[in-house]
Amino acid sequence: MKSHPIIFSSDMIRAILEGRKTQTRRVIELKDVDPECIWCRGNGHEYQECGELSGYDYRYPCRCCMPNNLYGQPGDQLFVKETWAIIKNDDDENKVLYRADGVIGNAAYGGADFPGNRTYYGPWKSSLFMPRWASRITLEIVNVRVERIQEIKYFELESEGISLAQVLEKRGISNITPHMAQSFMRDAYIRLWDSLNAKRGFGWDTNPWVWVIEFKRIGG
């Protein structure tokens, strides 16, 4: 068993803590795959050409590429990194705060109200620099597979942390058809995906190959 870091936004941290998020999709970049593995590079090839596939389904990552998956394999653990800060409590002891726990007040100042604490205005520390000891959430990888981002199924949108109730609340809508619900949730996920990946050249419209990582929370 290995342990790997993984970063989530505050919204997705809350979804994990609430038990709503059990999947994440991460872009497969060229450095993640064997340059000789044509299929994993997205150019397509027949099942029998590889001969090193996991199981019998050609849609799973080749064994030659799985070791390059930075997030690990089934059974491995992920320690979650998020936006954080350290303050002194009333006993002058260091206390770790997590941005996801705060009720954001004045966004212009980055203020957040925490139970039992004064409003905290920062400075917040980037999730990129969170050490292992400060991480409060541990996940176990249940499954890993490969697909194009646009292949995500409707029922998986909830597993990705998209809440229909929250989507409807933002739109100010209550009564909708099942088809509209699917469309609204898909649009919400596309916006989320593009906010994280479009500037890196992996926007929804480019339909990149992704690692689909299914997990369960085991600690924190």
Are residues 166 and 146 in contact, defined by beta-carbon separation less than 8 angstroms?
A: no
Half-sphere exposure of 126 (CA within 13 A, CB side): 2
Which residue matches tokens 């872009």?
A: 27
Q: Please tell me the predicted confidence (pLDDT) of residue 168.
A: 73
Question: Among residues 83, 74, 130, which one has the least CA distance to residue 104?
Answer: 83
Mean pLDDT of the 10-15 span: 92
Per-residue pLDDT band for 119 (boundaries 50, 70, 90) equals: low
Q: Please tell me the predicted confidence (pLDDT) of residue 195.
A: 94
- What structural domains does the chain harbor? 3-81+134-219 (2.30.130.30), 84-125 (no CATH)
Residue 150: phi and psi, rounded to 5, are: -75, -5
SS3 135: coil
Instruction: Kindly report each contact of residues 31-40 with a partner whose C-beta sits within 8 Å and lies 24 or more positions away, as own/partner.
Output: 31/68, 32/65, 32/68, 32/69, 32/70, 32/211, 33/65, 33/68, 34/62, 34/64, 34/65, 34/68, 36/64, 37/62, 37/64, 37/65, 40/65, 40/146, 40/209
Portion of the chain with pLDDT greater than 90, in percent: 39
Angstrom distance (rounded) from CA 58 to CA 21: 26
Q: Please tell me the predicted confidence (pLDDT) of residue 150.
A: 93
Residue 69: phi and psi, rounded to 5, are: -70, 110
Q: What is the pLDDT of residues 38-75, one digit of tens each?
A: 555 444 443 333 444 444 344 445 555 655 677 888 99
Mean pLDDT of the 112-128 span: 68
Residue 80 pairs in a beta bridge with 6
Q: What is the pLDDT of residues 97-106, one digit of tens each?
A: 888 887 544 4
Q: Please tell me the predicted confidence (pLDDT) of residue 101.
A: 83
Q: Please tell me the predicted confidence (pLDDT) of residue 216.
A: 97
Model confidence at 138: pLDDT above 80: yes
Which residue matches tokens 């849609």?
A: 59
Angstrom distance (rounded) from CA 110 to CA 170: 21
Model confidence at 146: pLDDT above 50: yes
